[in-house]
Chain A
Amino acid sequence: MTADVVATGRAAPRSGARRLLARHWYAWAMTAPVVIVTLVLVGYPLVRGIYLSLTDATEATMGRTIGMNVIPPTYQFVGLKNYADILTSPEFLGRLTWTIVWTVVCVALHVSIGLGLALLLNRPMRLRSLYRVLLVLPWAVPSFVSAFIWRYLLNGEFGVVNAMLRAAGFNGIAWLDDPFWAKVSVIACNVWLGVPFMMLAMLGGLQAIPRELYEAAEVDGATPWQRFRHITLPGLSPVSSTVVLLGTIWTFNQFPVIFLLTKGGPGGSTEILVTYAYREAFEGIRNYSGSAAWGMVILALLVVMAAVYRRALRRQGEAW
Chain B
Amino acid sequence: MSRAARAWSRDRRSPGKSVALHLTLIAASIVSVFPVAWLVLTSLKPRQAIESASVAPIDHPTLANYTQVLGETRFLTWAANSVVVSLVTAVLGVLLAATTGYAVSRFRFPGFRSVMWMLLITQMFPVAILIVPIYNLMAGLGLINQFPSLVIAYLTSTVPFCAWMMKGYFDTVPATIDEAGRVDGLTPFGTFWRLILPLAKPGLAVAAFYSFLTAWAEVAYATAFMTGDDKYTLAVGLSQFVGQHKAEWGLLTASSVLIAIPAAVVFLLVQRHLVTGLTAGATKA
Contact = CB atoms under 8 A, between A and B. Distances in A.
Interface in B185-212: 187-189, 192
Contacts of B36: 137-138, 141, 149
Contact of A31 (B100, B137, B285): B100
Residue among A6, A35, A140, A298 having the largest count of chain B Cβ atoms under 10 Å: A140
Interface residues of B, number: 109
A174 B199 CA distance: 54
B51 to A, nearest CB: 5
A141 B260 contact: yes
Contacts of A37: 96, 155, 159
Contact of A146 (B21, B35, B131, B159): B35
Contact of A149 (B53, B160, B256): B256
B1 interface: yes
B217 interface: yes
Majority DSSP secondary structure for residues of A touching B:
helix
Given A30-B103, A144-B238, A238-B282, A274 B108 contact: no
Interface in A221-240: 238-239
Nearest to B24: A120
A157 B54 CA distance: 11
B9 interface: yes
B14 to A, nearest CB: 13
A5 B18 CA distance: 56
Interface stretch (A83-91, A104-112, A177-185, A252-260): A252-260
A167 to B, nearest CB: 6
B89 interface: no
Interface string B4-32: 01101110010000100110110011011
B126 A48 contact: no
Contacts of A139: 267, 271
A305 B223 CA distance: 28
Given A30-B103, A243-B279, A163 B128 contact: no
A160 interface: yes
A138 B187 CA distance: 46
Contacts of B76: none
Given A30-B102, A31-B103, A152-B249, A317 B285 contact: yes
Contacts of B109: 5, 9, 24, 27-28
Interface residues of A, number: 115
Interface string A272-299: 0110011001100000100110111011
Contact of B256 (A30, A117, A145, A317): A145
Majority DSSP secondary structure for residues of B touching A:
helix
A74 interface: no
A239 B242 CA distance: 39
B120 interface: yes
Given A35-B115, A152-B252, A302-B126, A144 B235 contact: yes
A143 B216 CA distance: 10
Given A35-B118, A166-B53, A249-B124, 7 more contacts: A42-B130, A45-B133, A131-B28, A197-B275, A211-B5, A255-B127, A298-B126
Q: Which 6 A-B pairs have the closest CB atoms?
A: A277-B128, A30-B103, A253-B126, A140-B267, A45-B133, A140-B264
Interface of A: 2-3, 5-6, 9-10, 20, 24, 26-31, 33-35, 37-38, 41-42, 44-46, 48-49, 52, 62, 64-65, 117, 120-121, 123-125, 127, 131, 133-146, 148-153, 157-160, 162-164, 166-167, 192, 195-197, 200-201, 204-205, 208, 211, 215, 238-239, 241-243, 246, 249, 252-253, 255-256, 259-260, 273-274, 277-278, 281-282, 288, 291-292, 294-296, 298-299, 302-303, 305-306, 309-310, 316-318, 320
13 contacts: A24-B110, A27-B188, A120-B21, A140-B271, A148-B238, A157-B51, A200-B271, A205-B283, A273-B128, A288-B136, A294-B128, A299-B125, A299-B129
